[in-house]
Amino acid sequence: MQNRPLTNEQSRISIDTVQLYEAFREAFKSSVAYRGGMHWKTAKGNKYLFRSRGRYGAGKSLGVRSEKTEHIYNTFHKNKKEITDRFKQLRERVKTQARFCKAAKIQRVPKIATRILQELDQRNLLGNHVMFIGTHALYAYEAAAGAYFDSSLLATNDVDILWDVRSKLTLAIEDKNKPEDFIDILRKADKTFKIYKKQKFRVANANGYMVDLLKAMPSPITKNERDRIGGPNDLVAVEVMNMSWLLSSPKFEQIVIGEDGIPARMIVPDPRAFALHKFWVSQQQDREPIKKRRDKSQAMAVAQLILEYFPNYKFHEQHMKMFPPELLDKFKNILQEGKDDSPSLRL
């Protein structure tokens, strides 16, 4: 199964886009610190400098009006204007760059997926608490390699999001009377998302695009863990066997480009862990045959990509100690089948 390398022009535009988007994300993070405002309030005959945050007027006093507080006031508004202007300029440049991405045909990821990624990233959930797994992870691996998988491997109408319940997670709350649920975040990406009545770990939008929220089975199995990120009306994460393998593996970060040319930051499992886990899934007796074949194809395609484009990634037991040694040995034997003794197969 051959991967199609990007042309020189596609590579140039891809690199430029990644660098531009990283600058845009930095500008966004800087602008977050200046959300809200700073103004003077009068109380009991004195003027006080008040720092407000959020849309509901919450904030605190920074002290009575003085030379010091006036300096704070002037510096805040000067910096806020500079940072806001830079953020707006970079946002427009990203939109302009999107046209170049589309012209070069390097836009790959479903737009709804990149929108979800952007919402998760904005709230610091991506990587810290959740990551993409399953078929969508292939977009991150191919973008990092600069070589495209066959489109048949990528065809899917759903995304799997793995939640790490070990990390303490409190969603941002602007209105204390209505805490934000995970479904609220998904609806920021597409307002038509609705939770399945019988499968509360799954949502689907009006076009049938589905999002599943997964979590690892607890250890021991009797351990009582959270199953909702938000409140009682939120998605209920489904427990899946051996998700701990993916949670324990190093995370892999890559900027990917959506169908509309707009990039997003994607966090996925280490590609070796993805390949091994997919291979394990393909060996399960209760797995549907058509899915088993696809699972194995994806596992082998990612393994081939690793061997060809990521020389620092090796299938050594010391790097993949979260997996059973016998599974790793079996996978390495499968990879070796049909190969010669060339040292290019770095096992």
pLDDT at position 70 over 90: yes
pLDDT at 346: 38
pLDDT at position 79 over 50: yes
180 confidence band (pLDDT: 50, 70, 90): confident
- Across 107-122, average pLDDT: 97
Question: Which residues on neighbouring strands pair with residue 269, listed in sequence order?
Answer: 251
pLDDT at position 342 over 70: no
pLDDT at 53: 83
* Domain ranges (residues) in the chain: 1-105, 107-266, 270-347
Quote the CA–CA distance of 292 and 287 in Å, as a whole number.
6
pLDDT at position 108 over 60: yes
pLDDT at position 295 over 70: yes
pLDDT at 224: 83
Q: How far apart are the first and last CA of the chain?
A: 19
pLDDT at 344: 37
- Write out the DSSP string of 207-257: T--EEEEEEEPPSSTT------SSSTTS--PEEETTHHHHHHSPEEEEEEE
* Residue 83: closest CA among 23, 38, 123: 23
Quote the CA–CA distance of 287 and 243 in Å, as a whole number.
16
* Residue 237: closest CA among 220, 211, 215: 215
pLDDT at 56: 63
pLDDT at position 164 over 80: yes
219 confidence band (pLDDT: 50, 70, 90): confident
- Across 309-317, average pLDDT: 90
For a pLDDT cut of 90, what percent of the chain falls above it?
83
277 confidence band (pLDDT: 50, 70, 90): very high
Between these two residues, 71 and 347, which has the higher pLDDT value? 71
Where in the chain does DSSP place strands (E)? 4-5, 37-43, 46-53, 58-64, 130-133, 147-148, 158-163, 194-195, 202-204, 210-216, 238-240, 251-257, 263-269
Tokens 């009377």 found at? 177
pTM as predicted:
0.91
pLDDT at 347: 38
Torsion angle, alpha carbons of 270, 157, 153, 189, to 10 = -50
The angle subtended at Cα 246 by Cα 242 and Cα 247, nearest 5°, is 100
For the ranges 22-26, 30-34, 332-336, the maximum mean pLDDT occurs at 22-26
* Integer angstrom CA distances of residue 186 from 112, 160, 161, 192: 10, 13, 11, 9
For a pLDDT cut of 70, what percent of the chain falls above it?
92
pLDDT at position 174 over 50: no
Mean pLDDT, the chain, whole residue set: 91
Do 200 and 214 meet the contact criterion of CB atoms below 8 Å apart?
no
- Quick check: helix, strand or coil at residue 266? strand
pLDDT at position 237 over 80: yes
pLDDT at position 179 over 90: no
